[in-house]
Structure 1
Amino acid sequence: MQRRSLIQRGALAGLVAAGIAPAVHAQAATRWRLASGFARPLDLLYGGAETFARKVGEMTGGRFQIEVHAAGELMPARAVLDGVQQGAIEACHTAGASFAAKDEVFAIGSALPFGMNARQLSAWMTEGNGLKLTREFYGRLDALNFSCGNTGAPAGAWFRREIRSPHDFKGLKFCFGGLAPRVLERLGGVPQKLADSEVVAALAKGTIGAAEGLSPYDDQKLGLQKAASHYAYPGWWSAGLQLELLVNRKAFDALSAEYKAIVEAACAFTQLDMQARYAARNPVALQQLIRGGTVAQAFPKPVLEAAFKATLDLDRELSARNAGWKKIHGDYLAFQKEALSGARYAEAPFDAFLQSMKW
């Protein structure tokens, strides 16, 4: 039965990718409201929800319509999870790391310092215990989670001055999301809570000295390069931002089996589509930023080592006081170690060789 289910889902995903609507039995029209955690100018992040909604509509012949609302239209970005939990909306499209202040476990399936990349995280969710464990967690909130878009690669961060050693973080006011502030605090940084719309202006005025980047493409659209000239990489605080579709459990249970499968397939399409869009746009945007005067600099190894040590310290602290973190992140970390052991003999040396060659 499990094999038959996998074959059926694979066939459905193939129809989605081909843009062909599968035959759907006549059903009553269904309408959902979906709140995005992103503003419209972030066309790829916000656009993920539109891609998902469009695919659902196409595969149901227009009988399942999902209205997408940008952050702030129905509710603030940080309230979308509460909206789903309370049944005010049927679904939201967001990054779990945005809610790490509520419970650090939210960040595990989204973005972690020195965490898994997009491919590894997808493998953990589908072939490992990731989906089972995270659905147990979201189940307590009467919500169901689906992977629904990933930025695909770690972004850099913007600094008003060059970071040369771990000591440069001492007293540095910064604005980062997820669990990164907990790590940077251990290095002496001073986290600042700002609305997303305030970050660029605060960086330009010197109110803060550093801000997290989303991606070269998004950062260029936001104008971060006008506020600070130093772009430091790699983005160790997030190996790729994983987005999730969170659905109210009662709303999902009310769907037919066909519509449930279509929701799942549309999420799978959006996951691949967003990664492809970022992979195509980020290199072009980064080169434009550099030609425009941005100074791209790699974090010195001592900085990365200090941040890694601080991340391990944070993990030990959370494992001691958060049972959910210990259970889920323990499984996550075991899977990551296995994935890295394989990459060491495969893609890592291959990528390093190609990047060293002159074309």
Structure 2
Amino acid sequence: MENKDKIGRRSFLTRATVGGAAAAAGGALAAPALAQETPNINWRLASSFPKSLDTIFSGGEELARRVSEATDGRFRIQVFSAGEIVPGLDAINAATDGTVECAHSVGYYNWGKDPAFACGAELPFTFSARSKSAYNYYGGGIDLYNEFLEKYSLVSFPAGNTGTQMGGWYRKEVNTPADVQGLKIRIAGLAGRVLERMGAVPQQLAGGDVYPALEKGTIDAAEWVGPYDDAKLGFHKVAPYYYYPGFWEGGPTVSMFFNKARYDQLPDSYKSLLRSCCQAVDSNMLANYDYKNPTAIKELVAQGAQLRSFSQEVMVAAFEAANEVYAELSQQNESFKKQYEAMLQFRDDWYLYAQTADYTFDTFMMTLRNQDALAPSNFGVGE
């Protein structure tokens, strides 16, 4: 009986040991598979923006934070501001040539290399931020842009929007198209070509170079973004007339540009994460600007900024000039033509629809605001 018990115990121990070894082997096999799905990766991101412009620069920082948090620190992206690795206007090129793995920039900064770069950012007289988002995510905009970017070894996703921008700061008033003649204005990308067609002299300057040029009179005007960012740069101190709207940037998309070879090496889980985080940044930046700009514009006016709207005459002349430029570029550049034509049908439908609910509601609420009917004190708030 005793011998049988010993044999039974030995048999049990043998089976347990074999089973334990098998389980351990299974664990050893599983670990590398998990490691392959969440490898340790360190990337560098070149931003086109200085740290002082916290709302737009923070888009790169937000992406890096979200990616790190979602991977328990396994996927780390170090963010560098404009000039730390490359000048701000060269950020996209740095992603193309592999100097950095990714860039946070605006496509039209590279329009001189290829006009089709501008299509992923904004073209004058096309979309608002809301309609641009609809076009990007559901109208094929992202896919068409990435089809074009393959020749530059890039993959891109929207990662920010400022909303319709202001028309910029001017040392003198601009009332008619004749006032645009000879105007030296800091303006980026394809919009410069449109104003050039109107007789202006466009200058493409990085953000940090704009104020001294405006102060010295090297330029007559400068557009940047909108009230919050413009106030930080102090343009109102040297050019009092603040025009709107920035018809060249109704809904400008700020994008993440990834080096395609490095992006393709990522596991699918990381690729999906980058796309999701970019979309979060895309939404958050617009909300951030929408929250900050109302306060900023009141402060600018209090400090002497003189608000002016572009006249209908100036807007019509600019629209006609833009259409002439688009016709020329479409004949010269197939990638531009393909993206631009994809925008046109949705643009027509959008501005038909936009005249209904949103426009009517917003107009009514604006009327109430101008009648001081929305002031908190009218409802016993803030007294």
Which residue of 2 is the match for residue 260 of structure 1?
271
Which residue of 2 is the match for residue 118 of structure 1?
129
Please state if 1:55 is matched with 2:99.
Answer: no
Give the residue type in structure 1 aligned to 2:42: R
Give the residue type in structure 2 aligned to 1:50: E
- Equivalent residue runs for 1:224-235 within 5 Å: 224-235=235-246
Which residue of 1 is the match for residue 301 of structure 2?
290
Which residue of 2 is the match for residue 180 of structure 1?
191
**Offset at 1:34?**
0.7
**Offset at 1:25?**
4.6
Which residue of 1 is the match for residue 289 of structure 2?
278
Give the residue type in structure 1 aligned to 2:148: F
Give the residue type in structure 1 aligned to 2:83: G
Structure 1 residues not aligned, in runs of 5+: 1-23
8 Å Cα contact 1:35/1:68 also seen in 2 = yes
Structure 1 counterpart SS, 2:325: helix
Partners of 1:192 and 1:271 in 2: how far apart? Answer: 28
Give the residue type in structure 1 aligned to 2:300: L
- Equivalent residue runs for 1:1-359 within 5 Å: 25-26=34-35, 27-357=38-368, 358=371, 359=373
8 Å Cα contact 1:146/1:244 also seen in 2 = yes
Aligned residues: 336
**Offset at 1:28?**
2.6
Output the TM-score relative to the length of structure 1: 0.90
Which residue of 2 is the match for residue 3 of structure 1?
none
Give the residue type in structure 2 aligned to 1:156: G
Partners of 2:360 and 2:196 in 1: how far apart? Answer: 33
Partners of 1:34 and 1:162 in 2: how far apart? Answer: 40
8 Å Cα contact 2:130/2:251 also seen in 1 = no
Partners of 2:59 and 2:39 in 1: how far apart? Answer: 26
| More displaced stretch, 200-209 vs 272-281 | 200-209
8 Å Cα contact 1:201/1:227 also seen in 2 = no
8 Å Cα contact 1:155/1:240 also seen in 2 = no
8 Å Cα contact 2:185/2:203 also seen in 1 = yes
Partners of 1:339 and 1:25 in 2: how far apart? Answer: 46
**Offset at 1:194?**
3.5
8 Å Cα contact 2:89/2:206 also seen in 1 = no
Which residue of 2 is the match for residue 15 of structure 1?
none
**Offset at 1:164?**
1.0
Deviations, residues 85-139 of structure 1 (Å, cap 9, x unaligned): 1222111110001111111111112121112111111111111121121110011
| More displaced stretch, 112-121 vs 227-236 | 112-121
Give the residue type in structure 1 aligned to 2:84: E
**Higher helix residue share:** 2
Over 3 Å counting, the alpha-carbon distance change for 1:261 and 1:193 in structure 2 is closer
| More displaced stretch, 207-216 vs 279-288 | 207-216
Give the residue type in structure 2 aligned to 1:346: A
Partners of 2:239 and 2:167 in 1: how far apart? Answer: 12
Structure 2 residues not aligned, in runs of 5+: 1-32, 374-383
Q: RMSD over aligned Cα, in angstroms?
A: 1.4
Question: Which protein has the larger Cα radius of gyration, Structure 1 or Structure 2?
Answer: 2
Over 3 Å counting, the alpha-carbon distance change for 1:179 and 1:141 in structure 2 is same
**Offset at 1:215?**
1.3
Q: Percent identity?
A: 39
Partners of 1:173 and 1:254 in 2: how far apart? Answer: 45
Partners of 1:52 and 1:190 in 2: how far apart? Answer: 36
